[in-house]
Every structure is written in C-alpha cells, then in structure tokens.
Amino acid sequence: MYKEIKDDDTLIGIKRLSDRANIPLDPANTDYQEYLAWLAEGNEPEPADEPEQQLIGE
C-alpha cells in the first residue's frame, strides 16, 4: 500500500507504507516504477495527510 506525499497541495512523492520508504517521482527509480505498475492494476494510494492548520497567534 502507498500514500501520497504532498507539500502545499503539490504531489512530491509516494510513501510505501510497508517500510515507510519515501519514493521520489523519478521514472528511473525502480520503486517508483513498481508504484506505477501497482497503479496500472487499478489500485489507488491513500491521500496525503492534511496539513495542520496553524492559527495566527497560536
């Protein structure tokens, strides 16, 4: 299973949940290739965590 990694709503990587590996969006990276194959099988990653809301003055 995988989970999206976002920074300010921009997808910047994929987390492989089995070993907490942080996978870059590089076509030459074999972990990313495996993720794309997993996606092609019809699977979907978990959405990225929502960023914590920081209130002014908090």
Partner 1 sequence: MSKTLNLGIFADDISVDNNRDVTLSNLRSDQPMMFRNRIINGDMQIDQRNSGSAISSHSTFVVDRINCALQGGTASGITVQQSSDVPSNSEFKNSIVYTTSTGGSVGSSGTYGVQQRIEGYNFSDFMYGTDYAKRFTLSFWVKSSVTGNYGIGLRNSAKDRSYIATYSISTANTWEYKTITVSGDTNTSATWLSDNGTGLDIFFSLGVGTNHSTTSNSWQTGNLFGLTGGASPVETSGSTWYITGVQLEEGTVATPFEHRPYGTELALCQRYFCKTGQNIFSGRGNTSSAVFGITTPVSMRSVPTIITNGNIVVYDHDSHESSSTDTVTASGSTTPDGFGFRCIVSGVTAPNNRVHAIESEDTMTFSAEL
Instruction: Determine, following the binding rule CB under 8 A, whether residue 39 of this chain makes contact with partner 1.
Output: no
Instruction: Determine, following the binding rule CB under 8 A, whether residue 24 of this chain makes contact with partner 1.
Output: yes
DSSP E strands, 1-58:
2-7, 10-16, 21-23
Six-digit token string for 48: 């990225």
Instruction: Determine, following the binding rule CB under 8 A, whether residue 15 of this chain makes contact with partner 1.
Output: yes
Q: Kindly state the number of chain residues that form the binding site for partner 1, as judged by CB under 8 A.
A: 23
Name the residue nearer to partner 1 (CB basis): 20 or 42: 20
**Residue 16: how many CB atoms within 10 A of its CB?**
17
Instruction: Determine, following the binding rule CB under 8 A, whether residue 56 of this chain makes contact with partner 1.
Output: no
